[in-house]
């Protein structure tokens, strides 16, 4: 099995910030439920957190594809494609 690719892409810092924002947003939804806010308000915000996480996953997947392409263009091993395909399967539900 190909050696798993470490996330070294320059985009990494932007992804960490996205995840921090999504984490804060999710914390806010938790407090909304605790305070007994309306179902509609809670579900709207929860859908927004879900979308933010989904978009972050797309950024990570694209960084992964980019790193694979670059390494392959420099003669990297083709087995890396199997690992990448595994990630596509894992993330797209």
- Binding status of residue 77 toward its own copies by CB under 8 A: no
Q: Minimal distance in Å, beta carbon 40 to its own copies? A: 5
Q: How many CB atoms lie within 10 A of CB 80?
A: 19
**Does residue 27 bind its own copies (CB under 8 A)?**
yes
d(CA 11, CA 6): 13
Q: Are 4 and 83 in contact (CB under 8 A)?
A: yes
Please give the Cα distance from 60 to 67 (Å, whole number): 11
| Residue 34 lies near its own copies (rule: CB under 8 A) | yes
Q: Which two tokens stand for residue 88?
A: 């596509």
Residues that bind its own copies (CB under 8 A): 4-8, 12, 15-16, 19-20, 22-23, 26-27, 29-30, 33-34, 36-44, 46-47, 49-51, 53-54, 56-58, 60-69, 72-73, 78, 81, 83-93
């Amino acid at each position: 099995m190909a050696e798993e690719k470490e996330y070294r892409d320059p985009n990494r810092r932007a992804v960490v910030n996205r995840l921090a924002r999504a984490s804060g947003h999710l914390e806010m939804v938790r407090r909304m439920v605790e305070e007994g806010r309306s179902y509609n308000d809670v579900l709207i915000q929860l859908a927004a957190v879900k979308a933010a996480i989904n978009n972050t996953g797309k950024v990570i997947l694209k960084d992964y594809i980019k790193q694979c392409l670059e390494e392959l263009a420099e003669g990297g091993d083709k087995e890396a494609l199997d690992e990448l395909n595994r990630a596509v399967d894992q993330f797209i539900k």
